[in-house]
Amino acid sequence: MCPDHIIELMHQYLDEEIDSEGEQILREHLQGCNECQAIFNELKKTVAFVKSISTMQAPANFTSNVLANLPKEKKKILVARLLKNHPFLSAASLFVVLMMGSLFSTWNQDREFSVSKQKNLVVKNNTVIVPKGEVVKGDVVVRNGKLKIEGEIKGDVTVIHGEKYLASAGHVTGEIDEVNEVFDWIWYHMKRSAKEAAGFFEHQEGQ
């Protein structure tokens, strides 16, 4: 029967924790003891066997199965990833944000009274009057003021940030548009841009 302290030294050796003194003792003992030598070789063989078990691969679809079972992802992350994977989308959304920003700032800055220039419009304290019996030709735009229509306007009327009174005798041949909210304002801007663009193309075609 082999001494316990020698067996202990063998294990220390296998754990790579043996000191030089212990290694010396083990070596000397092994040289003179066949039984211990056999045990030591068996231990080394055992370790080699266990290590030799080939490494295993996780089954196919392992990762996708794990991911399929995870709790739902937060929306914020989904959007972030969408933008990351589709740079065009992020460019487009940046464009929209900047556009909105500029629109809002024009909306907020544009508080001054103004009116389109037509000869026979009468202006009194931020109130624009189309006098009785007068005929105003062309579109009338009033910003930040009131519009009183007693005569006739041959064209469209747009009132931004203001009010309009249409007297019973008054008459407008075109469309009447009142813009008082931000969204109306944006809509108005878009319509105007589209009209301008259309006008531009018509003009070109005309040439």
Minimum distance, C-beta of residue 59 to other proteins, in the bound complex (Å): 6
Nearer to other proteins, 80 or 167 (CB): 80
Nearer to other proteins, 46 or 105 (CB): 46
**DSSP character at residue 175:** -
Minimum distance, C-beta of residue 205 to other proteins, in the bound complex (Å): 51
- The Cα 164–Cα 128 span in angstroms is 9
Nearer to other proteins, 65 or 105 (CB): 65
Nearer to other proteins, 76 or 111 (CB): 76
- The Cα 84–Cα 109 span in angstroms is 35
As a whole number of Å, the CA-based R_g of the chain is 45
Binding-site ranges for other proteins (CB under 8 A): 8, 11, 14-15, 17, 39, 42-43, 45-47, 49-59, 62-63, 65-67, 69-71, 73-74, 76-77, 81
Contact by Cβ (8 Å): 188, 160: yes
Minimum distance, C-beta of residue 77 to other proteins, in the bound complex (Å): 5
- Phi and psi at 83, nearest 5°, equal -65, -35
Nearer to other proteins, 58 or 97 (CB): 58
Q: Which residues contact 148 (CB under 8 A, 6 or more apart)?
A: 127, 128, 129, 130, 164, 165, 167
- The Cα 144–Cα 28 span in angstroms is 107
Pair of tokens at residue 137: 């030709």
Q: What is the dihedral of CA 153, 133, 117, 172, to 10 degrees?
A: -10
- The Cα 114–Cα 145 span in angstroms is 8
Minimum distance, C-beta of residue 106 to other proteins, in the bound complex (Å): 37
Nearer to other proteins, 27 or 81 (CB): 81
Minimum distance, C-beta of residue 21 to other proteins, in the bound complex (Å): 19
Minimum distance, C-beta of residue 148 to other proteins, in the bound complex (Å): 59
